[in-house]
């Protein structure tokens, strides 16, 4: 968003970021996220309690620093599904349709490198396990395509990733032209406490530094919030924009009554199917032993290639579980398996398929815990409360299992490790319970300041209702998910919002 604003040399853009410029060298290593996502300097934890019924407590994470979550994410760059963007445009208006997002993706990819065949023909050919997975999906009716970005409908292909030359490129890359031109400035280590208002207009922000001192930044034209789905609603609430009763309870004077602030949280709930595979196949031997890991590290250091140079799931598939042409499931597939629920490689050869419904219906909420901007908000996570989500979870599990059982994998797979015999095939209730209890939020939350409808927090131009000069331009404005990933979507949304604000729309 800031990069798009700064494309107009007559505008001066100030980015206020709570975290630092990243200094952890592991951030550049694509597989380094298994360590960096636990680095408290650039990653924050958000305990996510069940929204309604008793259930598991998740820990959600977000990146903190210039580049946000793209500093620690899996680098997967999934544009998404055209029919889901059509659904979004029903809420946000035709300006937010698939063709508009398509143009934004093209624009971004000219600055932010995205490795995807055919743009990176030199990338390593798929391993025997990945080839078998592709063939297995083909046998279940999901065709291989050269570039999953360029196609619609059911498809499988190499996962596009924000990697170039074996190194992660975060969203901070997008700021370079503005920084070079000199009309974009970034202030780090300043947490925005609240939006400053004069009458019914936003006029700036107040920030707090690590030593507790406070600074006021005045905005001549616009204040745009991009703190993300988990932080933007609390920031609005601290600014007096939210449900008046809730605000008074927190000791905040209401400025604008906006009861939907923080409500409508939707998250994709991923469940992983694991299989043991033939000894010697896949990456467990290379990344799960000290010797193998040293070899992979040496290969990476010398050639910037090998298993450390790619993201977590080399294959991405969009599947329509009803047999049609409108994918409702995302499958992410890899030729390594992890130990238990952690991120360490298992001590045996394995593969994993993460499967999830693209469009969850169940909702949760996020609200400020108090007036302290450094305290994590209260997150109430949806847990498949809506029966449509339980059905979709069962279909996701069934689809992943069908791929594993395809004849093309018979020479590769030994047996299913997870969920294994604990969930009998055909038992949809047990399958949904498995996803509910062993699955987790996958850091893709949207919806907490959603557009659409008479009581929406923002209008179709993403202006916060009831106050002038204030926009929200992050995933919190999306009422539903248009993709199986949110990184590409967040950047394209920011680009579209920034371009429109720049043009005075």
Residues making contact with ligand FAD (CB under 6 A): 16-19, 37, 61-65, 68-70, 72-76, 78, 191-192, 226-228, 231, 235, 373, 443-444, 474-475, 485-488, 490
**Measured distance CA(375)–CA(367) in Å, rounded:** 11
Q: Which residues pair with 480 in a beta bridge?
A: none
Quick one: 228 or 364, whose CB is closer to ligand FAD?
Answer: 228
DSSP reduced 3-state for 201: strand
| Three-state secondary structure string covering 396-417 | HHHHHHHHHCCHHHCCCEEEEE
Q: Whole-number minimum distance, CB 332 to ligand FAD, in Å? A: 9
Quick one: 69 or 272, whose CB is closer to ligand FAD?
Answer: 69
Quick one: 100 or 114, whose CB is closer to ligand FAD?
Answer: 114
Quick one: 412 or 458, whose CB is closer to ligand FAD?
Answer: 458
Taking the CB of residue 392, how many other CB atoms lie within 10 A of it? Answer: 25
Quick one: 373 or 479, whose CB is closer to ligand FAD?
Answer: 373
**Measured distance CA(43)–CA(33) in Å, rounded:** 10
Of 362, 361, 441, 427, nearest to 398 (Cα)?
427
**Measured distance CA(455)–CA(325) in Å, rounded:** 34
349, 278 Cβ separation under 8 angstroms: yes
Of 140, 124, 136, nearest to 413 (Cα)?
136
Instruction: Print burial letters for 259-282: b (CB count within 10 Å at least 16), e (below 16).
Output: ebbbbbbbbbbbbbbbbbbeeebb
Quick one: 385 or 474, whose CB is closer to ligand FAD?
Answer: 474
What letter would DSSP give residue 444? -
DSSP string, 290-327: HHHHHHHHHHHHHHS-SGGGS-S-SEEEEE-TTSSSS-
Quick one: 228 or 498, whose CB is closer to ligand FAD?
Answer: 228
DSSP reduced 3-state for 298: helix
What are phi and psi for residue 216, nearest 5 degrees?
-110, 130
**Measured distance CA(490)–CA(39) in Å, rounded:** 23
Token pair 């790619």 is found at: 310
Token pair 């901007």 is found at: 373
Quick one: 242 or 419, whose CB is closer to ligand FAD?
Answer: 242
Q: Whole-number minimum distance, CB 70 to ligand FAD, in Å? A: 5
**Measured distance CA(440)–CA(438) in Å, rounded:** 7
What are phi and psi for residue 90, nearest 5 degrees?
-60, -35
């Amino acid at each position: 968003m800031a990069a798009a604003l700064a494309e107009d040399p007559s505008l001066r853009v100030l980015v206020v970021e709570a975290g630092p410029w990243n200094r952890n060298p592991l951030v550049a290593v694509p597989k380094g996220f298994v360590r960096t996502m636990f680095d408290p300097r650039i990653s924050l934890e958000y305990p996510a309690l069940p929204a309604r019924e008793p259930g598991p407590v998740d820990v959600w994470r977000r990146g903190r620093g210039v580049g946000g979550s793209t500093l620690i994410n899996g680098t997967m760059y999934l544009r998404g599904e055209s029919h889901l963007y059509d659904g979004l445009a029903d809420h946000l208006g035709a300006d937010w349709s698939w063709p508009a997002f398509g143009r934004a993706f093209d624009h971004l990819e000219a600055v932010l490198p995205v490795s995807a065949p055919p743009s990176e023909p030199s990338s390593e050919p798929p391993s025997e396990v990945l080839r078998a997975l592709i063939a297995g999906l083909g046998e279940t009716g999901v065709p291989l395509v050269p570039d999953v970005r360029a196609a619609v409908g059911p498809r499988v292909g190499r996962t596009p990733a924000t990697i170039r030359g074996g190194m992660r490129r975060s969203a901070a890359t997008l700021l370079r032209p503005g920084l070079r031109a000199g009309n974009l400035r970034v202030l780090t280590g300043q947490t925005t406490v609240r939006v400053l208002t004069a009458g019914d207009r936003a006029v700036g922000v107040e920030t707090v530094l690590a030593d507790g001192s406070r600074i006021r930044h005045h905005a001549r034209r616009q204040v745009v919030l991009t703190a993300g789905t988990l932080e933007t609603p609390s920031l609005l609430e601290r600014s007096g924009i939210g449900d008046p009763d809730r605000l008074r309870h927190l000791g905040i004077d209401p400025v604008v009554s906006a009861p939907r602030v923080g409500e409508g949280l939707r998250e994709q709930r991923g469940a992983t199917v694991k299989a043991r595979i033939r000894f010697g196949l896949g990456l467990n031997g290379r990344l799960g032993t000290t010797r193998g890991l040293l070899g992979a590290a040496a290969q990476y250091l010398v050639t910037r290639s090998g298993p450390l140079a790619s993201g977590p799931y080399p294959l991405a598939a969009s599947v329509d579980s009803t047999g049609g042409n409108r994918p409702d499931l995302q499958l992410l597939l890899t030729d390594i398996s992890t130990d238990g629920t952690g991120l360490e490689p298992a001590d045996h050869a394995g593969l994993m398929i993460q499967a999830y419904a693209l469009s969850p219906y169940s909702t949760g909420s996020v609200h400020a815990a108090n007036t302290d901007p450094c305290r994590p908000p209260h997150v109430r996570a949806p847990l498949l409360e809506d029966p449509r989500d339980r059905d979709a979870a069962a279909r996701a599990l069934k689809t992943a299992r069908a791929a594993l059982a395809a004849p093309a994998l018979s020479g590769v797979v030994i047996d299913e490790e997870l969920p294994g015999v604990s969930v009998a095939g055909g038992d949809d209730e047990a399958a949904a319970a498995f996803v509910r209890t062993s699955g987790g939020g996958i850091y893709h939350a949207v919806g907490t300041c959603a557009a659409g409808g008479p009581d929406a927090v923002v209008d179709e131009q993403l202006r916060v209702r009831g106050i002038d000069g204030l926009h929200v331009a992050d995933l919190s404005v999306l009422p539903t998910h248009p993709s199986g990933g949110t990184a590409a979507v967040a950047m394209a949304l920011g680009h579209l919002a920034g371009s429109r604000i720049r043009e005075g729309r």
